[in-house]
Copies of this chain bind each other. A is one copy, B any other.
Amino acid sequence: MALSVEKTSSGREYKVKDLSQADFGRLELDLAEVEMPGLMACRTEFGPSQPFKGARISGSLHMTIQTAVLIETLTALGAEVRWCSCNIFSTQDHAAAAIARDSAAVFAWKGETLEEYWWCTERCLDWGAGGGPDLIVDDGGDATLLIHEGVKAEEEFEKSGKVPDPESTDNPEFKIVLTIIRDGLKTDAHKYRKMKERLVGVSEETTTGVKRLYQMQESGTLLFPAINVNDSVTKSKFDNLYGCRHSLPDGLMRATDVMIAGKVAVVCGYGDVGKGCAAALKQAGARVIVTEIDPICALQALMEGIQILTLEDVVSEADIFVTTTGNKDIIMVDHMRKMKNNAIVCNIGHFDNEIDMNGLETYPGVKRITIKPQTDRWVFPETKTGIIVLAEGRLMNLGCATGHPSFVMSCSFTNQV
């Protein structure tokens, strides 16, 4: 897509796939409101007093129907809102269209490139001359990261005149971040510092984003207050456990139409997300095997009758593999080569590096066959057998299905608010 900001007739900025889907989005928003009693109660209780009157809120969080109800709750409480997604595949285009037309500035569409993704993140934080947002709603910490890297670069530039060098990193995504910051320095060398000044704080939604924040706090580099929404009971238990229990099988079925009953499914990790995934697969009739290094979590799996093995033990026997660990390099290309024909590999942890997509993409002679968007069959040259990778190794429940259901998100979003 051409990267230029568009405007509604009322002058609000946006960039979405297709504004004409706004009516469809509105219909689903109407349904979702009934399923999200927590947020609706916030509107009723706090709407009259307009607690967010005049506040600017930037959100970097999957642009779904449920998030749309969150955004309209924030605006109902008086806020001005700009939004982007925190995942290149997670936007529901009809939700983005409805919000763009009716309520807030949105920069998000399903299937962004990484360059587009960071352009959207930049737009979301760009409140024009008067600095940035008062509050950030973050999910995974990318908006927070951009500001921190930006401030660091501006201070270095002021001190030594040096600008960030995208070639200084091997990480393709971080190259893009550095490029954006370098180009920004040319027009305004105080942009991110102005943002930092104005910013009251950030609320962070995910385990991984929270870890990043704690690391920054410990090293003394955290620039503004942060609220850990992830560890509230309504998030950690409800969103992770019940949400994933719902959306894992949903994503599997939409992407592959596979029958889960009778399959052997490997869940990597038995934290709250892993517990939800294992429960869902077990209940659907799969035989579940868990890989887990934490002894307490492993013992809990055992108490539920679940076998604990290493990935190596089962890699050539299982039909479905799900990563839930929040750590990187869980399923490597070397594992994938040994899998059965049409084994399904997917990730429901927040980041996209649990599955070694880089190793897969660069494997000599590997062939990628796209069955449909977010569902690819990768065929290895030696064996001619293929594996099916969902959502390019990113969050499969958002890439292949519609993420957590409204009710669950009502619980965690009500906390965010």
Contacts and interface: CB of A to CB of B under 8 A. Distances in A.
Interface of A: 24, 27-28, 31-32, 34-35, 65, 233-234, 237-238, 242, 245-246, 249-250, 253-254, 256-262, 282-288, 296, 299-300, 302-307, 341-342, 369, 371-372, 377, 388, 401-402, 404-408, 411
A27 B253 contact: no
Contacts of A371: 24, 27-28, 31
The DSSP consensus for interface residues of chain A is helix
A411 B253 CA distance: 19
Nearest to A259: B405
B305 A285 contact: yes
23 contacts: A27-B372, A35-B342, A233-B296, A234-B296, A238-B303, A242-B261, A242-B303, A245-B284, A245-B285, A246-B253, A250-B250, A250-B253, A250-B254, A253-B401, A259-B408, A261-B407, A262-B407, A283-B283, A285-B303, A285-B304, A287-B306, A287-B307, A288-B305
Nearest to A404: B259
Copies in the complex: 4
Nearest to A251: B253
A378 to B, nearest CB: 13
Nearest to A32: B257
Given A259-B404, A261-B304, 14 more contacts: A24-B371, A27-B369, A234-B296, A242-B261, A245-B261, A245-B284, A253-B253, A254-B254, A261-B303, A262-B303, A282-B305, A285-B304, A287-B305, A288-B305
Contact of A261 (B234, B305, B372): B305
Contacts of A405: 257-259
A395 to B, nearest CB: 16
Contacts of A401: 253
